[in-house]
Homo-oligomer: A and B are copies of this chain.
Amino acid sequence: VQHNEYCCLCNNIRAPWGVDRSFRRKEVDAWRELLICHSRIVRAVERELEKEHLVPLSSYDILLHLRYAPNKRRRFRDLNGEIVLSRSALSRCLDRLAEAKLVTKLDCPEDPRGLIIELAPAGETALKSAWPIYRRQIHELFGTHFSDKELDFIVKKFSALARVLPGEL
């Protein structure tokens, strides 16, 4: 893959229609490289999880939030916003997880409109099974290429960025 010869997201001195002096080219370059790495790593991880008949990343994320929530329960409203999925995607993903008996849907005592999601035993098992594979993939495809200091930098900057970025909607 030639990232320098052919551009992805304007890997050239000039913007598509000419010189654009008012932007930092670095910003676009950095963003482009992040996009490329992200897509490759995610694709590889998803393939590996699928191959081993394990839950996909989106489900993993949900199950893990539940695992560490008080009583292993969480309101739909709260999951939404903590999680990478959008509201409707979360709703559909929870349907699948409930169908597969990995989570249980419960009525909310305080608010009849509300929905409580509880981690089912099978959900915890699914989490345990997926972790070694996921962990190995993160290490091999990502972590192993960075030093401790570099990882500290990424954690610090990107968690700050995440807090500033718009969550849902």
**A→B interface (CB under 8 Å):** 1-3, 6-10, 12, 15-17, 20, 23-24, 26-31, 33-44, 60-61, 64-65, 67-69, 74, 81-84, 86, 124, 127-128, 131, 135, 138-139, 141-146, 148, 150-155, 157-167
Contacts and interface: CB of A to CB of B under 8 A. Distances in A.
A134 to B, nearest CB: 8
Given A6-B68, A26-B143, A27-B144, 16 more contacts: A1-B163, A2-B82, A8-B64, A9-B60, A9-B61, A23-B135, A24-B143, A24-B151, A28-B143, A29-B155, A30-B142, A40-B165, A40-B167, A142-B161, A145-B161, A150-B153
Given A6-B69, A65-B6, A165 B27 contact: no
Contact of A26 (B68, B83, B152): B152
A67 B150 CA distance: 35
Contact of A40 (B3, B152, B162): B162
Contact of A8 (B39, B61, B155, B167): B61
A137 to B, nearest CB: 10
B162 A3 contact: yes
Consensus secondary structure, chain A interface: helix
A34 B158 contact: yes
12 contacts: A2-B82, A9-B64, A16-B131, A17-B127, A23-B139, A27-B142, A27-B144, A29-B151, A30-B154, A37-B161, A40-B166, A44-B165
